[in-house]
C-alpha cells in the first residue's frame, strides 16, 4: 500500500511509514561532505539550500522505489528530467561514489539500492570508488583502500548491480575522469572552494584536487552524450552537487534565458518583468501613438512597463524586492520607447566563432543578432535549450545538462545519534557475522516506553525508534503494508519492544546471511570485471 500524502498536513508530522529525522541536534545546518554533523530538521534544507521536496515529484516517477514512497528519499534537485526520461524511455544515467574508509554498512545500502533501482528502470548506472578522496581527505593508505574498495564492490554486486549493463571504476585508474577534472579545475578557484568547503591555508592541494575529481565523476556519464543524470547522496554531499551544476553551466558554449528587450536582466529582474508584462498584456495597456503608416500603434514599450510598475505601489510586494524594482525601473527608463517583446536569448559564454555563426544560422524565424547574443522571437525555451546543446556538441563542446540529485535521510545509529562507520555499535556492517547483526539489533535503543504497561496504554514512539527505521529502510523491503503494520502496532501499543526487536533481529540475520552468500558467489568473478582491485601505488 503506497503511503498517502496530504499537502496540507502539519509540516512537523510524519506519515505512518516515513521515519523522522536522524535524531541529531544540529540547529544551524552546515552541510560538510567530510564532517560528522547531523540534521535535526530537514525542512531547513529546503529553506537554506533550495533542496526541493521529493513528494512534489513522486507522482511523476513510474513505479517509484519504496524509499521514495516512504519518504526516506525526502528531497531532490531537478529530478524531473530524470523522471521524464524514465516515462518516455529516453537515455538517462545514475551515478554515486563510495569513499572506502571502512566496511560498507546498512546506511550505505541506501545508495546501493538507489543506483540499482535506476539501473533497473533503464538508466546507465555507474558505481565508483572514491579512492583519491579517501587518500587525500582521510589519509588512508592504498593497501587499506584496496581492501575496503573490494568490499564495497562485492556488496554492490551482491545487492543486484549488473556490471554487464553498468560501469564500475576507481578514480585513480580512470584517466578520462582525471582529464575532465583538469578541465573543470580551470573553471574553479581557491576562493570558491574556500567559501563552499571552508578550506584554508592548511588544506592539502590533493584534497582540493579530489573535489574537482568528484565534479568530473558527476559529469562523467555525459561525456559520450548529454543526458539527464541523477546522483543519489545524503544531504551532506549537497555542496558537491551545487558546485557540479555550476561548473557544468560554465563549460557550456551558450546560456539560454528569457528576455523582453535588448538589455540584460538579473534572474530577479526577469521574474518581476515577466509579471509586469503579463499584467500589461492582459490589460491591453500600450502607448497611444501612430506608426509610420499613420495607424494606431498598440506595441507595448519599456516606458509602459516602467509606468505600470510605479503605479502598482499598492501591491508592490508582488513585484519583487524594493532593490529589484529600483534596478529594473532604471533599465526600463533608459530603454524608453524600445518595444517590450518576449523572446528567447542565446548568450555566448564560451562558444568558438564557428559555433556562434552556426547557432545564428540554425535559429529559425525572426531573430536579432548582437555581438554576444542572439534573440529569437519564434522559438520556445525548451526548443532553444535543445538547439543550443546540439550546436555545441556538433562543434566540439560538452553540452552538459545540469546533474540532478536525490537525497535520503541519515539512518539513526543503533545507539542513537548518527550511524557512523567509526562507531561499530552504531551500525551493522554488511560484513558482520549474521549472529553479530542479530545481537546488535537486540541491543539497540528503541522508541518504547519505560514499561510494557505504559507501552500498551500510550503506545510506542516509532518516529523516535532506530529499530523501526530498520524496518522502514531495509527489513520490510518493498512491502509497504508490512512496514505500516509495524508502525501502527507500535504506535497503538499492540507491539512491545522485546518482540519487535526479536523479529527485526531475525530478519537482519536472514538478510546478512543471504547477502554474504551472494557476496561469496561474486568473489571468484571479481577478476573478470573491468576494474582495478589492487593498486601498485606506494604509501
The dihedrals phi and psi of 294, each to the nearest 5 degrees, come to: 90, 0
Question: What pLDDT, on a 0 to 100 scale, did the predictor assign at position 39?
Answer: 54
The answer on 456 and 520 residing in a single domain is yes
C-alpha Rg value of the chain to the nearest Å = 27
Are 532 and 150 in contact, with CB atoms under 8 Å apart?
Answer: no
Q: Cell 588512508, residue?
A: 140
Helix (H, G, I), strand (E, B) or coil at 459: coil
Highest mean pLDDT among 41-50, 255-264, 448-457: 255-264
Question: What pLDDT, on a 0 to 100 scale, did the predictor assign at position 236?
Answer: 84
DSSP conformational letter for 373:
E
Residue 319 lies in a domain: yes
**CATH number, residue 459:** 1.10.240.10
Cα–Cα dist 489/468, whole Å: 11
Q: Which of 473, 468, 465 is nearest to 74 (CA)?
A: 473
Lowest-confidence pick of 171-180, 420-429, 510-519: 420-429
Q: Which of 342, 376, 408 is a domain's end point?
A: 408
Are 80 and 60 in contact, with CB atoms under 8 Å apart?
Answer: yes
The answer on 438 and 343 residing in a single domain is no
Q: Mind listing the pLDDT tens digit for each residue in 220-251? A: 999 999 999 999 998 888 999 999 999 999 99
How many of the other CB atoms lie within 10 Å of CB of 80? 15
The dihedrals phi and psi of 65, each to the nearest 5 degrees, come to: -65, 155
Cα–Cα dist 434/112, whole Å: 20
Question: What pLDDT, on a 0 to 100 scale, did the predictor assign at position 516?
Answer: 97
**CATH number, residue 183:** 3.40.50.620
What is the per-residue DSSP string for 283-304? Answer: HT-----B-TTSSB----BHHH
The answer on 300 and 182 residing in a single domain is no
The answer on 337 and 250 residing in a single domain is no
pLDDT band at residue 198 using 50, 70 and 90 as cut-offs? confident
Cα–Cα dist 472/447, whole Å: 14
Higher pLDDT, 9 or 167: 167
pLDDT band at residue 535 using 50, 70 and 90 as cut-offs? confident
Question: Alpha-carbon torsion 153, 507, 66, 48, what sign?
Answer: negative
Question: What pLDDT, on a 0 to 100 scale, did the predictor assign at position 14?
Answer: 37
Mean pLDDT score, 32-55: 66
Percent of the chain with pLDDT over 90: 67
Are 257 and 347 in contact, with CB atoms under 8 Å apart?
Answer: yes
- The continuous run of DSSP H or E covering 348 comes out as strand 343-348
Lowest-confidence pick of 139-143, 314-318, 330-334: 314-318
Question: What pLDDT, on a 0 to 100 scale, did the predictor assign at position 315?
Answer: 83
SS3 string, 164-204, reads: CCCEEEEHHHCHHHHHHHHHHHCCCCHHHHHHHHCCCCCCC
Question: What pLDDT, on a 0 to 100 scale, did the predictor assign at position 20?
Answer: 33
How many of the other CB atoms lie within 10 Å of CB of 29? 22
- 60-67: list long-range contacts, CB under 8 Å, 24+ apart: 60/84, 60/87, 61/86, 62/86, 62/87, 62/121, 63/121, 65/113, 65/114, 65/117, 65/478, 66/476, 66/477, 66/478, 66/480, 66/483, 67/110, 67/113, 67/114, 67/408, 67/473
Mean pLDDT score, 148-158: 95
Contacts of 180 (CB under 8 A, 6+ apart): 216, 219, 220, 223
Q: Which of 384, 408, 432 is a domain's end point?
A: 408
The answer on 433 and 384 residing in a single domain is no
DSSP conformational letter for 11:
T
Residue 351 lies in a domain: yes
Q: What is the pTM of this model?
A: 0.85
Higher pLDDT, 43 or 281: 281
The answer on 133 and 246 residing in a single domain is yes
The answer on 300 and 277 residing in a single domain is yes
Query: Residue 432 pLDDT more than 50?
Result: yes
In the sheet that 124-129 helps form, which strands lie side by side, from edge to edge?
A: 52-53, 73-77, 404-408, 229-233, 93-98, 124-129, 167-170
**Per-residue CA distances from 123 to 82, 400, 513 (Å):** 9, 17, 29
Question: What pLDDT, on a 0 to 100 scale, did the predictor assign at position 512?
Answer: 98
The answer on 356 and 260 residing in a single domain is yes
Residue 12 lies in a domain: no
Mean pLDDT score, 254-263: 94
Question: What pLDDT, on a 0 to 100 scale, did the predictor assign at position 316?
Answer: 78
Q: Which of 317, 323, 343, 325 is nearest to 263 (CA)?
A: 343
Residue 272 lies in a domain: yes
Residue 55 lies in a domain: no
Q: How many structural domains is the chain composed of?
A: 3
The answer on 185 and 130 residing in a single domain is yes
Helix (H, G, I), strand (E, B) or coil at 491: helix
Residue 284 lies in a domain: yes
Mean pLDDT of the chain: 87
The answer on 514 and 381 residing in a single domain is no
The answer on 440 and 476 residing in a single domain is yes
Lowest-confidence pick of 186-195, 218-227, 418-427, 489-498: 418-427
Highest mean pLDDT among 41-50, 143-152, 348-357: 348-357
Residue 314 lies in a domain: yes
Lowest-confidence pick of 38-42, 53-57, 135-139: 38-42
pLDDT band at residue 538 using 50, 70 and 90 as cut-offs? low
pLDDT band at residue 510 using 50, 70 and 90 as cut-offs? very high
The answer on 273 and 334 residing in a single domain is yes
Contacts of 175 (CB under 8 A, 6+ apart): none
Q: Which of 350, 376, 408 is a domain's end point?
A: 408
Q: How far is CA 425 from the centre of its chain?
A: 30
Query: Residue 89 pLDDT more than 90?
Result: yes
Are 324 and 270 in contact, with CB atoms under 8 Å apart?
Answer: no
Residue 88 lies in a domain: no
Mean pLDDT score, 513-525: 95
Residue 483: domain span: 424-528
CA atoms in the 13 A half-sphere facing the CB of 522? 22
Mean pLDDT score, 401-412: 93
Highest mean pLDDT among 22-31, 314-323, 338-347: 338-347
Q: Which three cell numbers stand for residue 45?
A: 534544507
Higher pLDDT, 297 or 381: 381
Cα–Cα dist 215/294, whole Å: 60
Amino acid at each position: 500500500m503506497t503511503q498517502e500524502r496530504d499537502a496540507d498536513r502539519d509540516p512537523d508530522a510524519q506519515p505512518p511509514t516515513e521515519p523522522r529525522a536522524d535524531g541529531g541536534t544540529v540547529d544551524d545546518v552546515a552541510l560538510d561532505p567530510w564532517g560528522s554533523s547531523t540534521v535535526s530538521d530537514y525542512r531547513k534544507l529546503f529553506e537554506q539550500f533550495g533542496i526541493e521536496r521529493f513528494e512534489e515529484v513522486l507522482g511523476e516517477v513510474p513505479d517509484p522505489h519504496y524509499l521514495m514512497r516512504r519518504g526516506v528519499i525526502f528531497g531532490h534537485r531537478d529530478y524531473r528530467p530524470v523522471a521524464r526520461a524514465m516515462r518516455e524511455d529516453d537515455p538517462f544515467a545514475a551515478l554515486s561514489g563510495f569513499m572506502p574508509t571502512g566496511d560498507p554498512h546498512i546506511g550505505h545500502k541506501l545508495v546501493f539500492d538507489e543506483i540499482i533501482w535506476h539501473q533497473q528502470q533503464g538508466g546507465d548506472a555507474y558505481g565508483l570508488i572514491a579512492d583519491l578522496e579517501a587518500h587525500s581527505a582521510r589519509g588512508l593508505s592504498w593497501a587499506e583502500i584496496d581492501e575496503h574498495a573490494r568490499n564495497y564492490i562485492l556488496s554492490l554486486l551482491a545487492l543486484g548491480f549488473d556490471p554487464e549493463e553498468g560501469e564500475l571504476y576507481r578514480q585513480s585508474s580512470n584517466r578520462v575522469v582525471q582529464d575532465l577534472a583538469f578541465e573543470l579545475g580551470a573553471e574553479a578557484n581557491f576562493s570558491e572552494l574556500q567559501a563552499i568547503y571552508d578550506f584554508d591555508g592548511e588544506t592539502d592541494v590533493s584534497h582540493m584536487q579530489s573535489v574537482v575529481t568528484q565534479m568530473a565523476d558527476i559529469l562523467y556519464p555525459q561525456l559520450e552524450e548529454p543526458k539527464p543524470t541523477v546522483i543519489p547522496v545524503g544531504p551532506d554531499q549537497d555542496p558537491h552537487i551545487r558546485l557540479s551544476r555550476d561548473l557544468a553551466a560554465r563549460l557550456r558554449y551558450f546560456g539560454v534565458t528569457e528576455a523582453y528587450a535588448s538589455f540584460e536582466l538579473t534572474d530577479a529582474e526577469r521574474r518581476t518583468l515577466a509579471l509586469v508584462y503579463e499584467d500589461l498584456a492582459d490589460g491591453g495597456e500600450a502607448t497611444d501613438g501612430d506608426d509610420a503608416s499613420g495607424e494606431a500603434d498598440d506595441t507595448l514599450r519599456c516606458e509602459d512597463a516602467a509606468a505600470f510598475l510605479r503605479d502598482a505601489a499598492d501591491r508592490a510586494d508582488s513585484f519583487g524586492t524594493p532593490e529589484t524594482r529600483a534596478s529594473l525601473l532604471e533599465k526600463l527608463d533608459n530603454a524608453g520607447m524600445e518595444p517590450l517583446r518576449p523572446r528567447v536569448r542565446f548568450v555566448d559564454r564560451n562558444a568558438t566563432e564557428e559555433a556562434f555563426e552556426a547557432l545564428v544560422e540554425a535559429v529559425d524565424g525572426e531573430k536579432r543578432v548582437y555581438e554576444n547574443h542572439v534573440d529569437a522571437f519564434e522559438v520556445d525555451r525548451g526548443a532553444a535549450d535543445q538547439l543550443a546543446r546540439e550546436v555545441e556538441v556538433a562543434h566540439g563542446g560538452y553540452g552538459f545538462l545540469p546533474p540532478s540529485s536525490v537525497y535520503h535521510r541519515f539512518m539513526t545509529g543503533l545507539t542513537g545519534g548518527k550511524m557512523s562507520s567509526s562507531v561499530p555499535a552504531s551500525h551493522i556492517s554488511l560484513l558482520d557475522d549474521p549472529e553479530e547483526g542479530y545481537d546488535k539489533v537486540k541491543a539497540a535503543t528503541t522508541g518504547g516506553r519505560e514499561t510494557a504497561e505504559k507501552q500498551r496504554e500510550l503506545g510506542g514512539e516509532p518516529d523516535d525508534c532506530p529499530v523501526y527505521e530498520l524496518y522502514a529502510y531495509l527489513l520490510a523491503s518493498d512491502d509497504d503494508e508490512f512496514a505500516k503494520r509495524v508502525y501502527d502496532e507500535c504506535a497503538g501499543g499492540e507491539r512491545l519492544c522485546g518482540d519487535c526487536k526479536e523479529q527485526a533481529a531475525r530478519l537482519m540475520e536472514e538478510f546478512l546471511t543471504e547477502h554474504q552468500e551472494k557476496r561469496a558467489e561474486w568473489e571468484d568473478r571479481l577478476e573478470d570485471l573491468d576494474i582495478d582491485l589492487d593498486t601498485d601505488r606506494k604509501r
